């Protein structure tokens, strides 16, 4: 099925498949190709409208009778760490950050495999090989950075260390109004130190250093335990009904939506604002 705006790009809809967040539901995505000279502007514009990037595709949930997935971002100016988040910063204070161009390495892939085998052994990426991993990292038509974290106490030159001292990695897009955390992974043993939360906290710091107002987190899904942590950050905004709003009490959001809560695909596409038409 294809729907198109009066000018490029063209938008498509995926076939329904089992939802990875909520049991007994089917997901469907609205997507478009991210390519050409205007890729940067398109990514900036659609990210502000709830879209996410995966390689050279921009997508947004467009399920037939469910609107539970809500794009989430942190407004940096409104963020202040909680007591527990301050403890997370302290527990991970030995991690040293470095940033580079998006170029995949075998050490990254080894860490990625350990992460998947520990946390997402049956997920959609479970069978991803080195070449597919390299495509995920390197196939980007926009400004993307690979942010690596190593322990200050790790011996990165140890011969038998397949990770070469790597402890965590984040593939991060640089938008005109913020950082978008495309995908992150880390050593499984760091779960006890809440390193996933630490990566978000550190991206907030990077955004401050770059004077960027937002950190985009992907989707928050009420009713999904695996996505619940995103509501724990002060200053979170969600994209709903065509605009961003401050997240209130997470318990006030209902994942049980019906078909009348979801606009037809053609209407959704017609509402999308392309670069240069946001005014």
The per-residue pLDDT for range 29-79, each reduced to its tens digit, is 999 999 888 899 999 999 999 999 999 999 999 998 888 899 999 999 999
Considering only 16-25, 40-49, 159-168, 231-240, which range has the smallest mean pLDDT? 159-168
- What residues contact residue 251 under an 8 Å CB cut-off, 6+ apart? none
Mean pLDDT over residues 142-146, rounded?
95
Confidence of residue 6 (pLDDT cuts 50, 70, 90): very low
Assess whether pLDDT exceeds 60 at residue 182: yes
The neighbouring-strand residues paired with 237 are 73, 246
Q: How many CA atoms lie within 13 A of 254 on its CB side?
A: 4
Asked if pLDDT for residue 121 goes beyond 80, the answer is no
Residues 6+ apart with CB under 8 A from 133: 104, 108, 109, 112
pLDDT higher than 70, residue 7: no
Nearest Cα residue to 223 out of 84, 13, 85, 24: 24
Question: Any residues with CB less than 8 A from the CB of 73 and at least 6 apart, and which?
Answer: 178, 214, 215, 216, 217, 236, 237, 239, 244
**pLDDT confidence of residue 153:** 73
How deeply is 47 buried, as exposed, middle or buried, from its count of CB atoms within 10 A (0-12, 13-18, 19+)? buried
Mapped onto helix, strand or coil, the DSSP state of residue 230 is helix
Q: What is the mean pLDDT of residues 163-188?
A: 93
What pTM value is reported for the model? 0.91
pLDDT 10s digits, 237-269: 999 988 999 998 888 887 767 767 788 899 999
Structure confidence at residue 84 (pLDDT): 96
Phi/psi at 243 (nearest 5 deg)? Answer: -160, 165
Judge whether 68 and 124 are in contact, CB under 8 Å: no
Hey, what CATH class is 76-218 in? alpha beta
Domain range summary for the chain, segments of one domain joined by +: 76-218
Q: How far apart, in whole angstroms, are the C-alpha atoms of residue 200 and residue 98?
A: 15
Residue (of 190, 258, 186) closest to 25 by Cα position: 258
């Amino acid at each position: 099925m294809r729907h198109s705006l009066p000018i490029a790009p063209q938008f498509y809809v995926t076939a329904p498949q089992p939802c990875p967040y909520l049991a007994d539901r089917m997901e469907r995505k609205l997507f478009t190709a991210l390519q050409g000279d205007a890729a940067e502007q398109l990514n900036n514009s659609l990210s502000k409208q709830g879209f996410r990037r995966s390689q050279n595709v921009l997508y947004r949930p467009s399920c037939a009778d469910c609107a539970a997935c809500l794009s989430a971002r942190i407004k940096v100016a409104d963020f202040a760490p909680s007591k527990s988040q301050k403890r997370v910063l302290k527990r991970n204070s030995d991690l040293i950050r470095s940033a580079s161009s998006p170029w995949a390495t075998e050490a990254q892939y080894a860490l990625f495999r350990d992460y998947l085998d520990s946390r997402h052994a049956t997920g959609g990426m479970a069978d991803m090989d080195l070449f597919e991993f390299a495509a995920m990292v390197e196939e980007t038509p926009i400004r993307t950075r690979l942010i690596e974290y190593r322990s200050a106490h790790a011996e990165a030159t140890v011969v038998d260390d397949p990770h070469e001292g790597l402890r965590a990695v984040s593939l991060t897009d640089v938008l005109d109004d913020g950082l978008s955390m495309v995908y992150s992974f880390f050593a499984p043993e760091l779960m006890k130190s809440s390193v996933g939360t630490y990566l978000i906290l550190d991206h907030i710091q990077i955004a401050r250093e770059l004077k960027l107002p937002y950190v985009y987190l992907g989707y928050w899904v009420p009713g999904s335990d695996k996505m619940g942590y995103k509501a724990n950050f002060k200053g979170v905004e969600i994209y709903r009904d065509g605009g961003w709003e401050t997240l209130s009490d997470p318990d006030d959001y209902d994942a049980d939506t019906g078909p009348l809560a979801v606009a037809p695909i053609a209407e959704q596409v017609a509402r999308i604002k392309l670069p240069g038409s946001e005014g």
